[in-house]
Amino acid sequence: MKTYRDLVAEAKRAVPEVTVEEVRDRLAHDPDLALVDVRDPDEYREGAIAGAVPISRGFLEFKVPEAFPDPETPLVLYCLSGLRSLLAAKVLHDLGYTRVASMAGGIRRWKELRLPLVKDEPLTPEQMERYSRHFMLAQVGERGQKQLLRSKVLLIGAGGLGSPAGVYLAAAGVGTLGLVDSDVVDLSNLQRQILHRTEDVGRPKVESARDTIRALNPDVTVVPYAERLTVENIERIIKDYDLIVDGSDNFATRYLVNDACYLAGKPNVHGSIFQFEGMVTVLAPGRGPCYRCLYPVPPPAGLVPS
């Protein structure tokens, strides 16, 4: 008959343990890494690592194959102290998951290092109604909606591309939207730039866009940047955002945004349009080429219309 000590020793032989510091560093550089919180729901609500998937130990065998159907997915399990997650990781190892590890020290050690935790705040009745259609989507659900509300997206440009992107991101409940645009609203903008109204002509675009977004969804915090992006300010502006949406209309800014996102390791969703044609590209550092990889040299000035 195996004792608890025997089970722990067996798990340690089968499953690698990683430190909290290693998990923190891997999260910053490995977008494929998935965290699984195996604590009970009442523990999870007290604070969890951002992006972790909550699957309590009692439901692990049933829910993990649905959440991570590929047994090659790199998984790190954690709990309060590191013991439950070690035993749970051994179960997944026996189920055929080949890249599973346990975080030694658990949340207790994470807190000792003063690393950030996300608290699972309940949605208000108004939010439950506003986002109710998202709850019907398995890919979003209530957990995904809360993640959207915690997310921060920076829009480069509040014009023809930034306008619809801003409207839909705000409507979806992305909690923080940064808007970068140094221009003012012109009457000729209004046939396509839906963040602005006739009474906004002459106003800074970031102010007009902020008012429209606030009226659409009060859950969204808008951070306006009424300035042109430069080498001097771009690092400061993008540093706090999870995702960059580049709707700029000139090549100098596109290359600048690309280079800054590449160096910061931030995904860059790049879009461009001309008349009835358009393209969109997700440029994810470490997972594919960057804009400069695809287009090493910008076209001569005046060759491509803005």
Per-residue pLDDT tens over the stretch 61-95 = 888 988 899 999 999 999 999 999 999 999 999 99
Tell me if the domain spanning 151-294 has CATH number 3.90.1150.10: no
pLDDT, residue 296, reads: 86
pTM over 0.85: no
pLDDT, residue 293, reads: 86
For residue 203, the Cα-to-chain-centroid distance in whole angstroms is: 31
Sheet containing strand 100-103, edge to edge, reads 17-18, 100-103, 75-78, 34-37, 53-54
Distance CA 225, CA 152 (A): 15
Q: Which of 157, 155, 159 is nearest to 189 (CA)?
A: 159
Q: Which of 186, 165, 170, 159 is nearest to 250 (CA)?
A: 159
Q: Average model confidence (pLDDT) for the chain? A: 91
Structural domain 4-112, CATH architecture? 3-Layer(aba) Sandwich (3.40)
pLDDT, residue 275, reads: 85
pLDDT, residue 18, reads: 96
Task: Quick: pLDDT tens for 12-69.
Answer: 999 999 999 999 999 988 888 999 999 998 888 789 998 899 999 988 988 898 889 9
Domain residue spans in the chain? 4-112, 151-294
Task: Quick: pLDDT tens for 156-195.
Answer: 999 999 999 999 999 999 999 999 999 999 999 999 999 9
Confidence tier at 198 by pLDDT (50, 70, 90): very high
Planar angle of CA 191, 196, 197, nearest 5 degrees? 80
Task: Quick: pLDDT tens for 246-304.
Answer: 999 888 899 999 999 999 889 999 988 888 888 899 998 888 888 888 888 877 766 55
Token pair 């491509």 is at which residue? 304
Q: Which of 229, 100, 56, 74 is nearest to 155 (CA)?
A: 229
Contact present, 166 and 214 (Cβ < 8 Å)? no
